[in-house]
Structure 1
Protein backbone atom coordinates (compact mmCIF):
# COMPACT_ATOMS: atom_id res chain seq x y z
CA UNK A 1 0.00 0.00 0.00
CA UNK A 2 1.48 3.32 -1.11
CA UNK A 3 1.96 5.96 1.57
CA UNK A 4 0.86 9.50 0.69
CA UNK A 5 3.85 11.79 1.15
CA UNK A 6 3.12 15.17 2.71
CA UNK A 7 5.07 18.12 4.00
CA UNK A 8 6.49 17.20 7.41
CA UNK A 9 4.28 19.58 9.37
CA UNK A 10 1.15 17.80 8.09
CA UNK A 11 2.30 14.22 8.55
CA UNK A 12 1.21 13.87 12.17
CA UNK A 13 -1.88 12.25 13.58
CA UNK A 14 -4.14 15.31 13.62
CA UNK A 15 -6.81 15.06 10.91
CA UNK A 16 -7.48 18.82 10.85
CA UNK A 17 -3.86 19.56 9.91
CA UNK A 18 -3.81 16.92 7.16
CA UNK A 19 -7.14 18.16 5.78
CA UNK A 20 -5.91 21.76 5.78
CA UNK A 21 -2.66 20.78 4.09
CA UNK A 22 -4.35 18.58 1.51
CA UNK A 23 -7.15 20.96 0.50
CA UNK A 24 -6.18 24.55 1.33
CA UNK A 25 -2.54 25.32 2.07
CA UNK A 26 -0.77 26.62 -1.01
CA UNK A 27 -3.82 26.73 -3.28
CA UNK A 28 -4.06 30.14 -5.00
CA UNK A 29 -6.77 32.18 -3.30
CA UNK A 30 -8.40 35.22 -4.91
CA UNK A 31 -11.49 35.85 -2.77
CA UNK A 32 -11.28 39.09 -0.75
CA UNK A 33 -13.17 37.75 2.25
CA UNK A 34 -11.00 34.64 2.50
CA UNK A 35 -7.79 36.61 1.96
CA UNK A 36 -8.86 38.89 4.81
CA UNK A 37 -9.64 35.86 6.97
CA UNK A 38 -6.21 34.34 6.39
CA UNK A 39 -4.43 37.63 7.03
CA UNK A 40 -6.21 37.94 10.38
CA UNK A 41 -5.74 34.29 11.35
CA UNK A 42 -2.03 34.42 10.54
CA UNK A 43 -1.80 37.48 12.79
CA UNK A 44 -3.64 35.64 15.55
CA UNK A 45 -1.07 32.87 15.27
CA UNK A 46 1.87 35.15 16.15
CA UNK A 47 3.84 33.37 18.87
CA UNK A 48 1.58 30.30 18.75
CA UNK A 49 1.13 27.23 16.56
CA UNK A 50 -1.04 27.15 13.44
CA UNK A 51 -2.74 24.09 14.94
CA UNK A 52 -4.00 26.28 17.81
CA UNK A 53 -5.52 28.79 15.38
CA UNK A 54 -6.96 26.15 13.07
CA UNK A 55 -8.80 24.52 15.97
CA UNK A 56 -10.35 27.93 16.80
CA UNK A 57 -11.12 28.92 13.20
CA UNK A 58 -14.88 28.40 13.41
CA UNK A 59 -14.98 30.51 16.58
CA UNK A 60 -13.16 33.33 14.75
CA UNK A 61 -15.62 33.14 11.87
CA UNK A 62 -18.53 33.41 14.29
CA UNK A 63 -16.97 36.24 16.30
CA UNK A 64 -15.97 38.31 13.25
CA UNK A 65 -19.10 38.02 11.10
CA UNK A 66 -17.57 35.32 8.88
CA UNK A 67 -14.82 37.85 8.12
CA UNK A 68 -17.17 40.17 6.24
CA UNK A 69 -14.79 43.11 5.83
CA UNK A 70 -17.46 45.83 6.01
CA UNK A 71 -19.06 44.37 9.14
CA UNK A 72 -15.74 43.87 10.91
CA UNK A 73 -14.60 47.41 10.05
CA UNK A 74 -17.77 48.72 11.73
CA UNK A 75 -17.36 46.75 14.98
CA UNK A 76 -17.50 48.85 18.15
CA UNK A 77 -15.06 48.73 21.05
CA UNK A 78 -17.72 47.16 23.29
CA UNK A 79 -18.09 44.28 20.82
CA UNK A 80 -14.34 43.73 20.75
CA UNK A 81 -14.12 43.91 24.54
CA UNK A 82 -16.78 41.20 24.74
CA UNK A 83 -14.62 38.99 22.52
CA UNK A 84 -11.87 39.15 25.14
CA UNK A 85 -14.13 36.98 27.32
CA UNK A 86 -14.61 34.33 24.61
CA UNK A 87 -12.56 31.18 25.42
CA UNK A 88 -12.92 30.10 21.78
CA UNK A 89 -10.57 32.90 20.70
CA UNK A 90 -7.00 33.83 21.50
CA UNK A 91 -7.77 36.45 24.13
CA UNK A 92 -5.05 38.96 23.43
CA UNK A 93 -6.37 42.53 23.34
CA UNK A 94 -3.96 43.69 20.63
CA UNK A 95 -4.80 40.73 18.41
CA UNK A 96 -8.57 41.10 18.97
CA UNK A 97 -8.50 44.81 18.06
CA UNK A 98 -6.12 44.28 15.13
CA UNK A 99 -8.83 42.45 13.18
CA UNK A 100 -10.95 45.62 13.05
CA UNK A 101 -7.89 47.71 12.17
CA UNK A 102 -7.07 45.28 9.37
CA UNK A 103 -10.64 45.45 8.07
CA UNK A 104 -10.49 49.24 7.94
CA UNK A 105 -7.11 49.14 6.19
CA UNK A 106 -8.49 46.51 3.79
CA UNK A 107 -11.37 48.79 2.82
CA UNK A 108 -8.91 51.54 1.96
CA UNK A 109 -6.84 49.13 -0.16
CA UNK A 110 -10.01 47.92 -1.92
CA UNK A 111 -10.99 51.53 -2.64
CA UNK A 112 -7.57 52.19 -4.17
CA UNK A 113 -6.88 48.91 -6.00
CA UNK A 114 -10.38 47.61 -6.72
CA UNK A 115 -9.99 44.53 -4.54
CA UNK A 116 -7.90 43.19 -1.70
CA UNK A 117 -6.95 40.40 -4.09
CA UNK A 118 -5.45 42.82 -6.62
CA UNK A 119 -3.48 44.62 -3.93
CA UNK A 120 -2.07 41.58 -2.10
CA UNK A 121 -1.26 39.58 -5.23
CA UNK A 122 0.58 42.58 -6.69
CA UNK A 123 3.51 41.70 -4.43
CA UNK A 124 4.08 38.50 -6.44
CA UNK A 125 3.18 39.97 -9.82
CA UNK A 126 -0.23 38.29 -9.79
CA UNK A 127 1.07 34.71 -10.00
CA UNK A 128 2.35 32.00 -7.71
CA UNK A 129 6.07 31.75 -7.01
CA UNK A 130 6.79 28.01 -7.21
CA UNK A 131 9.69 26.82 -5.08
CA UNK A 132 11.43 23.46 -5.16
CA UNK A 133 12.40 22.80 -1.56
CA UNK A 134 13.84 19.35 -0.82
CA UNK A 135 12.96 19.40 2.88
CA UNK A 136 11.12 21.52 5.43
CA UNK A 137 14.46 22.80 6.71
CA UNK A 138 15.01 24.51 3.35
CA UNK A 139 11.83 26.59 3.57
CA UNK A 140 12.57 30.17 4.70
CA UNK A 141 10.63 32.01 7.41
CA UNK A 142 10.64 35.18 5.31
CA UNK A 143 11.86 36.50 1.97
CA UNK A 144 12.56 39.90 0.39
CA UNK A 145 8.99 39.76 -1.02
CA UNK A 146 7.45 39.21 2.42
CA UNK A 147 9.70 42.00 3.73
CA UNK A 148 8.24 44.37 1.12
CA UNK A 149 4.69 43.21 1.80
CA UNK A 150 5.11 43.66 5.56
CA UNK A 151 6.53 47.16 5.20
CA UNK A 152 3.75 48.21 2.80
CA UNK A 153 0.96 46.74 4.93
CA UNK A 154 2.26 48.38 8.10
CA UNK A 155 2.42 51.71 6.29
CA UNK A 156 -1.28 51.29 5.40
CA UNK A 157 -2.25 50.63 9.02
CA UNK A 158 -2.43 46.84 9.03
CA UNK A 159 -1.34 45.21 12.29
CA UNK A 160 0.29 41.87 13.10
CA UNK A 161 1.83 41.79 9.64
CA UNK A 162 5.52 41.24 10.30
CA UNK A 163 7.57 39.64 7.56
CA UNK A 164 7.25 36.11 9.01
CA UNK A 165 3.47 36.48 9.28
CA UNK A 166 3.33 37.83 5.72
CA UNK A 167 5.34 34.88 4.43
CA UNK A 168 3.07 32.40 6.23
CA UNK A 169 0.12 34.24 4.67
CA UNK A 170 1.74 33.97 1.22
CA UNK A 171 2.23 30.23 1.73
CA UNK A 172 -1.32 29.67 2.95
CA UNK A 173 -2.94 31.57 0.09
CA UNK A 174 -0.85 30.11 -2.71
CA UNK A 175 1.20 33.20 -3.46
CA UNK A 176 4.12 30.85 -3.02
CA UNK A 177 4.10 27.09 -3.47
CA UNK A 178 6.20 25.81 -0.58
CA UNK A 179 5.10 22.19 -0.62
CA UNK A 180 8.34 20.19 -0.62
CA UNK A 181 9.03 18.41 -3.91
CA UNK A 182 8.30 14.97 -2.42
CA UNK A 183 4.84 16.09 -1.24
CA UNK A 184 1.93 14.92 -3.38
CA UNK A 185 0.58 18.51 -3.36
CA UNK A 186 3.70 20.06 -4.88
CA UNK A 187 2.57 19.64 -8.49
CA UNK A 188 -1.17 20.04 -7.91
CA UNK A 189 -2.52 23.36 -9.15
CA UNK A 190 -6.16 23.12 -8.20
CA UNK A 191 -8.31 26.12 -7.38
CA UNK A 192 -9.41 26.41 -3.78
CA UNK A 193 -13.10 25.89 -3.39
CA UNK A 194 -15.17 28.77 -2.07
CA UNK A 195 -16.56 28.34 1.43
Structure 2
Protein backbone atom coordinates (compact mmCIF):
# COMPACT_ATOMS: atom_id res chain seq x y z
CA UNK A 1 0.00 0.00 0.00
CA UNK A 2 1.53 3.25 -1.10
CA UNK A 3 2.48 5.68 1.55
CA UNK A 4 0.46 8.91 1.45
CA UNK A 5 2.58 11.87 0.75
CA UNK A 6 1.79 15.04 2.71
CA UNK A 7 1.59 18.08 0.54
CA UNK A 8 2.39 21.44 2.09
CA UNK A 9 0.03 23.83 0.39
CA UNK A 10 0.26 27.53 1.23
CA UNK A 11 -3.17 28.56 2.51
CA UNK A 12 -4.92 31.20 0.41
CA UNK A 13 -7.00 33.83 2.29
CA UNK A 14 -10.72 33.81 1.81
CA UNK A 15 -11.76 35.85 -1.15
CA UNK A 16 -13.77 38.99 -0.58
CA UNK A 17 -16.42 39.72 -3.11
CA UNK A 18 -17.53 43.09 -4.35
CA UNK A 19 -21.26 43.72 -4.83
CA UNK A 20 -20.81 42.64 -8.45
CA UNK A 21 -19.13 39.37 -7.45
CA UNK A 22 -15.59 40.37 -8.39
CA UNK A 23 -12.82 39.47 -6.04
CA UNK A 24 -11.20 42.33 -4.14
CA UNK A 25 -7.46 41.89 -3.53
CA UNK A 26 -6.46 41.79 0.11
CA UNK A 27 -4.10 44.74 -0.17
CA UNK A 28 -6.92 46.89 -1.60
CA UNK A 29 -9.23 46.04 1.29
CA UNK A 30 -6.51 46.86 3.79
CA UNK A 31 -5.87 50.23 2.12
CA UNK A 32 -9.59 51.04 2.20
CA UNK A 33 -9.79 50.14 5.88
CA UNK A 34 -6.83 52.35 6.78
CA UNK A 35 -8.20 55.24 4.72
CA UNK A 36 -11.57 54.98 6.45
CA UNK A 37 -9.85 54.94 9.81
CA UNK A 38 -7.85 58.10 9.05
CA UNK A 39 -10.98 59.95 7.94
CA UNK A 40 -12.69 59.43 11.28
CA UNK A 41 -10.23 61.80 12.99
CA UNK A 42 -11.05 64.91 10.92
CA UNK A 43 -14.76 64.07 11.02
CA UNK A 44 -14.65 63.96 14.78
CA UNK A 45 -12.90 67.34 14.88
CA UNK A 46 -15.46 68.87 12.55
CA UNK A 47 -18.29 67.42 14.63
CA UNK A 48 -16.83 69.05 17.73
CA UNK A 49 -16.53 72.46 16.12
CA UNK A 50 -20.09 72.27 14.82
CA UNK A 51 -21.28 72.34 18.42
CA UNK A 52 -19.66 75.78 18.90
CA UNK A 53 -21.34 77.36 15.90
CA UNK A 54 -24.17 79.82 16.42
CA UNK A 55 -26.57 80.41 13.54
CA UNK A 56 -28.03 83.91 13.36
CA UNK A 57 -30.58 84.36 10.54
CA UNK A 58 -28.86 83.49 7.29
CA UNK A 59 -25.37 84.29 8.65
CA UNK A 60 -23.21 81.90 10.63
CA UNK A 61 -20.72 83.06 13.22
CA UNK A 62 -18.51 81.49 15.85
CA UNK A 63 -19.53 81.55 19.49
CA UNK A 64 -17.11 83.83 21.34
CA UNK A 65 -17.27 81.60 24.44
CA UNK A 66 -15.85 78.63 22.55
CA UNK A 67 -12.24 77.98 21.62
CA UNK A 68 -12.48 79.70 18.27
CA UNK A 69 -8.83 79.71 17.32
CA UNK A 70 -8.15 75.99 17.62
CA UNK A 71 -11.49 74.92 16.15
CA UNK A 72 -11.31 77.22 13.16
CA UNK A 73 -7.84 75.92 12.31
CA UNK A 74 -9.18 72.35 12.43
CA UNK A 75 -11.92 73.20 9.95
CA UNK A 76 -9.40 74.75 7.58
CA UNK A 77 -7.28 71.59 7.74
CA UNK A 78 -10.27 69.39 6.94
CA UNK A 79 -11.30 71.57 4.00
CA UNK A 80 -7.78 71.70 2.57
CA UNK A 81 -7.43 67.92 2.88
CA UNK A 82 -10.74 67.25 1.15
CA UNK A 83 -10.28 69.76 -1.64
CA UNK A 84 -13.83 71.06 -2.02
CA UNK A 85 -14.52 70.86 1.70
CA UNK A 86 -18.27 70.55 2.24
CA UNK A 87 -19.11 69.11 -1.18
CA UNK A 88 -16.81 66.10 -0.68
CA UNK A 89 -17.88 65.58 2.92
CA UNK A 90 -21.50 65.46 1.74
CA UNK A 91 -20.63 62.79 -0.83
CA UNK A 92 -19.12 60.73 1.98
CA UNK A 93 -22.34 60.94 3.93
CA UNK A 94 -21.32 63.69 6.36
CA UNK A 95 -22.83 67.18 6.20
CA UNK A 96 -21.24 70.23 7.73
CA UNK A 97 -23.52 72.73 9.48
CA UNK A 98 -21.78 75.61 7.67
CA UNK A 99 -21.03 76.26 4.02
CA UNK A 100 -17.33 76.78 4.46
CA UNK A 101 -15.03 77.84 7.24
CA UNK A 102 -13.89 80.75 5.08
CA UNK A 103 -17.44 82.20 5.23
CA UNK A 104 -17.60 82.13 9.03
CA UNK A 105 -17.39 85.66 10.47
CA UNK A 106 -17.13 86.90 14.01
CA UNK A 107 -20.03 88.99 15.37
CA UNK A 108 -19.58 92.77 15.59
CA UNK A 109 -18.65 94.00 19.03
CA UNK A 110 -20.46 97.07 20.33
CA UNK A 111 -22.73 99.44 18.38
CA UNK A 112 -22.46 99.41 14.57
CA UNK A 113 -21.08 102.59 12.99
CA UNK A 114 -23.66 105.27 12.16
CA UNK A 115 -24.76 105.27 8.55
CA UNK A 116 -24.78 108.51 6.62
CA UNK A 117 -25.76 109.71 3.16
CA UNK A 118 -23.99 108.11 0.20
CA UNK A 119 -22.13 111.27 -0.78
CA UNK A 120 -20.37 111.46 2.60
CA UNK A 121 -17.43 109.04 2.61
CA UNK A 122 -14.38 108.49 4.85
CA UNK A 123 -12.43 110.58 2.33
CA UNK A 124 -14.81 113.55 2.49
CA UNK A 125 -13.53 116.89 3.75
CA UNK A 126 -14.11 117.03 7.55
CA UNK A 127 -15.72 120.48 7.16
CA UNK A 128 -18.18 119.07 4.63
CA UNK A 129 -18.92 116.07 6.86
CA UNK A 130 -19.63 118.34 9.84
CA UNK A 131 -21.85 120.51 7.65
CA UNK A 132 -23.87 117.41 6.66
CA UNK A 133 -24.10 116.19 10.25
CA UNK A 134 -25.07 119.52 11.80
CA UNK A 135 -26.64 121.88 9.24
CA UNK A 136 -27.64 120.33 5.92
CA UNK A 137 -31.36 119.62 5.90
CA UNK A 138 -32.12 121.29 9.24
CA UNK A 139 -35.26 123.46 8.84
CA UNK A 140 -34.34 127.14 9.04
CA UNK A 141 -37.31 129.12 10.34
CA UNK A 142 -37.61 132.85 11.12
CA UNK A 143 -33.97 133.52 10.29
CA UNK A 144 -33.78 135.56 7.09
CA UNK A 145 -30.04 136.13 7.40
CA UNK A 146 -29.37 132.41 7.54
CA UNK A 147 -31.75 131.71 4.66
CA UNK A 148 -30.11 134.38 2.52
CA UNK A 149 -26.67 132.93 3.29
CA UNK A 150 -27.80 129.47 2.19
CA UNK A 151 -29.36 130.93 -0.95
CA UNK A 152 -26.04 132.62 -1.82
CA UNK A 153 -24.17 129.36 -1.18
CA UNK A 154 -26.60 127.52 -3.44
CA UNK A 155 -25.89 130.06 -6.16
CA UNK A 156 -22.14 129.73 -5.57
CA UNK A 157 -22.35 125.99 -6.29
CA UNK A 158 -22.29 126.89 -9.99
CA UNK A 159 -18.67 128.00 -9.51
CA UNK A 160 -17.44 126.09 -6.44
CA UNK A 161 -18.03 122.82 -4.59
CA UNK A 162 -19.48 122.58 -1.09
CA UNK A 163 -16.08 121.85 0.52
CA UNK A 164 -14.56 124.92 -1.17
CA UNK A 165 -17.44 127.14 -0.09
CA UNK A 166 -17.39 125.90 3.49
CA UNK A 167 -13.62 126.22 3.82
CA UNK A 168 -13.92 129.88 2.77
CA UNK A 169 -17.10 130.56 4.71
CA UNK A 170 -15.47 133.29 6.79
CA UNK A 171 -14.38 135.11 3.63
CA UNK A 172 -17.93 134.92 2.27
CA UNK A 173 -19.37 136.28 5.50
CA UNK A 174 -16.84 139.08 5.72
CA UNK A 175 -17.32 140.16 2.11
CA UNK A 176 -21.13 140.01 2.25
CA UNK A 177 -21.21 141.63 5.72
CA UNK A 178 -22.71 138.59 7.46
CA UNK A 179 -25.36 138.36 4.74
CA UNK A 180 -27.34 141.32 5.97
CA UNK A 181 -29.66 142.15 3.02
CA UNK A 182 -29.81 145.84 3.99
CA UNK A 183 -26.03 146.18 3.83
CA UNK A 184 -25.59 144.16 0.64
CA UNK A 185 -28.27 146.23 -1.11
CA UNK A 186 -25.99 149.28 -0.63
CA UNK A 187 -22.97 147.79 -2.41
CA UNK A 188 -21.29 150.21 -4.85
CA UNK A 189 -19.06 149.46 -7.83
CA UNK A 190 -15.94 149.42 -5.70
CA UNK A 191 -17.45 146.83 -3.39
CA UNK A 192 -18.17 144.52 -6.29
CA UNK A 193 -14.47 143.62 -6.55
CA UNK A 194 -14.35 140.29 -4.75
CA UNK A 195 -11.31 139.01 -2.85
CA UNK A 196 -9.16 136.19 -4.20
CA UNK A 197 -9.23 132.62 -2.93
CA UNK A 198 -6.94 129.69 -3.75
CA UNK A 199 -4.36 131.96 -5.31
CA UNK A 200 -5.78 133.91 -8.25
CA UNK A 201 -9.37 132.61 -8.18
CA UNK A 202 -11.99 135.23 -7.27
CA UNK A 203 -14.47 134.49 -4.52
CA UNK A 204 -17.28 134.77 -7.08
CA UNK A 205 -17.62 136.11 -10.59
CA UNK A 206 -18.72 139.73 -11.00
CA UNK A 207 -21.96 138.58 -12.62
CA UNK A 208 -22.75 136.43 -9.61
CA UNK A 209 -21.96 139.22 -7.15
CA UNK A 210 -24.20 141.66 -9.02
CA UNK A 211 -27.00 139.05 -8.97
CA UNK A 212 -26.62 138.64 -5.18
CA UNK A 213 -26.76 142.42 -4.67
CA UNK A 214 -29.92 142.62 -6.75
CA UNK A 215 -31.41 139.66 -4.83
CA UNK A 216 -30.76 141.47 -1.56
CA UNK A 217 -32.80 144.42 -2.83
CA UNK A 218 -35.66 142.15 -3.88
CA UNK A 219 -35.51 140.26 -0.57
CA UNK A 220 -36.18 143.53 1.27
CA UNK A 221 -39.35 143.91 -0.79
CA UNK A 222 -40.39 140.33 0.05
CA UNK A 223 -39.89 141.06 3.75
CA UNK A 224 -42.12 144.09 3.45
CA UNK A 225 -44.83 142.10 1.68
CA UNK A 226 -44.79 138.83 3.67
CA UNK A 227 -43.29 139.96 6.95
CA UNK A 228 -40.15 137.89 6.44
CA UNK A 229 -38.31 135.96 3.76
CA UNK A 230 -38.86 132.89 5.91
CA UNK A 231 -42.65 133.17 5.70
CA UNK A 232 -42.39 133.61 1.95
CA UNK A 233 -40.28 130.45 1.53
CA UNK A 234 -42.24 128.20 3.87
CA UNK A 235 -45.63 129.07 2.39
CA UNK A 236 -44.65 127.07 -0.72
CA UNK A 237 -44.56 123.86 1.36
CA UNK A 238 -47.48 124.75 3.66
CA UNK A 239 -45.09 125.37 6.57
CA UNK A 240 -44.14 121.72 6.60
CA UNK A 241 -40.97 120.27 5.03
CA UNK A 242 -41.31 117.77 2.23
CA UNK A 243 -40.11 114.41 3.52
CA UNK A 244 -38.75 112.24 0.76
CA UNK A 245 -37.89 108.63 1.46
CA UNK A 246 -34.93 107.92 -0.76
CA UNK A 247 -32.62 104.99 -0.13
CA UNK A 248 -29.99 105.86 -2.72
CA UNK A 249 -28.41 109.14 -3.72
CA UNK A 250 -29.11 108.47 -7.39
CA UNK A 251 -32.83 108.78 -6.65
CA UNK A 252 -32.48 112.47 -5.80
CA UNK A 253 -33.14 114.67 -8.82
CA UNK A 254 -31.50 118.04 -9.47
CA UNK A 255 -34.85 119.81 -9.64
CA UNK A 256 -38.54 119.18 -8.95
CA UNK A 257 -41.87 120.72 -9.99
CA UNK A 258 -41.90 122.53 -6.64
CA UNK A 259 -38.47 124.06 -7.20
CA UNK A 260 -39.56 125.13 -10.68
CA UNK A 261 -42.60 126.84 -9.16
CA UNK A 262 -40.52 128.74 -6.58
CA UNK A 263 -37.94 129.62 -9.22
CA UNK A 264 -40.55 131.16 -11.49
CA UNK A 265 -42.00 133.22 -8.65
CA UNK A 266 -38.57 134.48 -7.56
CA UNK A 267 -37.63 135.50 -11.10
CA UNK A 268 -40.99 137.21 -11.50
CA UNK A 269 -40.10 139.30 -8.46
CA UNK A 270 -36.71 140.30 -9.93
CA UNK A 271 -34.38 137.71 -8.35
CA UNK A 272 -31.45 136.63 -10.54
CA UNK A 273 -29.49 133.37 -10.88
CA UNK A 274 -32.27 131.40 -9.18
CA UNK A 275 -32.99 128.59 -11.63
CA UNK A 276 -34.83 125.41 -10.56
CA UNK A 277 -31.55 123.60 -9.76
CA UNK A 278 -30.29 126.46 -7.57
CA UNK A 279 -33.64 126.65 -5.81
CA UNK A 280 -33.72 122.90 -5.18
CA UNK A 281 -30.24 123.01 -3.66
CA UNK A 282 -31.50 125.86 -1.46
CA UNK A 283 -34.58 123.84 -0.48
CA UNK A 284 -32.45 120.87 0.56
CA UNK A 285 -29.88 122.78 2.59
CA UNK A 286 -32.48 124.98 4.33
CA UNK A 287 -34.70 122.05 5.30
CA UNK A 288 -37.66 122.91 3.07
CA UNK A 289 -37.21 119.36 1.89
CA UNK A 290 -35.64 116.51 3.86
CA UNK A 291 -33.45 114.69 1.37
CA UNK A 292 -31.32 112.80 3.84
CA UNK A 293 -31.43 109.14 2.85
CA UNK A 294 -33.57 106.80 4.91
CA UNK A 295 -30.43 104.97 5.98
CA UNK A 296 -28.82 108.20 7.23
CA UNK A 297 -28.94 108.89 10.95
CA UNK A 298 -29.83 112.52 10.20
CA UNK A 299 -33.13 111.70 8.48
CA UNK A 300 -35.14 111.26 11.67
CA UNK A 301 -33.17 113.93 13.54
CA UNK A 302 -34.14 116.59 11.02
CA UNK A 303 -37.79 115.54 11.28
CA UNK A 304 -37.64 115.91 15.07
CA UNK A 305 -35.97 119.32 14.70
CA UNK A 306 -38.87 120.55 12.58
CA UNK A 307 -41.42 119.32 15.15
CA UNK A 308 -39.60 121.18 17.90
CA UNK A 309 -39.55 124.36 15.82
CA UNK A 310 -43.31 124.14 15.28
CA UNK A 311 -43.94 123.70 19.01
CA UNK A 312 -41.88 126.77 19.91
CA UNK A 313 -43.67 129.06 17.44
TM-score (norm 2): 0.58
* Aligned mate of 1:70, from 182, 192, 195: 182
Say which one has the larger Rg.
Answer: 2
The answer as to whether partners of 1:46 and 1:160 remain within 8 angstroms in 2 is no
* Aligned mate of 2:120, from 5, 10, 18: 10
Q: Does 1:105 align with 2:105?
A: no
Q: Which has the higher strand share?
A: 2
SS of 1:8's equivalent in the other structure is coil
* d(CA) in 2 for partners of 1:186, 1:25: 11
* Partner of residue 135, structure 1: 248
Tell me, which stretches of 5 or more residues in structure 1 are unaligned?
none
* d(CA) in 2 for partners of 1:70, 1:39: 16
TM-score (norm 1): 0.92
141-150 or 11-20, larger mean C-alpha shift: 11-20
The answer as to whether partners of 2:159 and 2:204 remain within 8 angstroms in 1 is no
Stretches of 4+ aligned residues off by more than 6 angstroms: none
Which digits, 9 at most, give the CA deviation of each residue in 1:88-115, with x for residues without a partner?
7533111111221111010010011000
> How large is the Cα RMSD of the aligned pairs?
1.8
Q: Does 1:43 align with 2:155?
A: yes
Q: Which has the higher helix share?
A: 1
Q: Which has the higher contact order (CA 8 A, sep 6+)?
A: 1
* Partner of residue 305, structure 2: 190
Deviation of 1:86 after TM superposition, in Å, equals 2.9
* Partner of residue 25, structure 1: 136
* d(CA) in 2 for partners of 1:60, 1:49: 14
Aligned residues: 191
SS of 1:10's equivalent in the other structure is coil
Which digits, 9 at most, give the CA deviation of each residue in 1:35-92, with x for residues without a partner?
01111111111153222222222110000100011111111121112x2x43375331
* d(CA) in 2 for partners of 1:12, 1:152: 39
* Aligned mate of 2:235, from 122, 131, 147: 122
* d(CA) in 2 for partners of 1:150, 1:55: 28
* Aligned mate of 1:155, from 268, 271, 276: 268
* d(CA) in 2 for partners of 1:158, 1:12: 38
Tell me, which stretches of 5 or more residues in structure 2 are unaligned?
1-109, 309-313
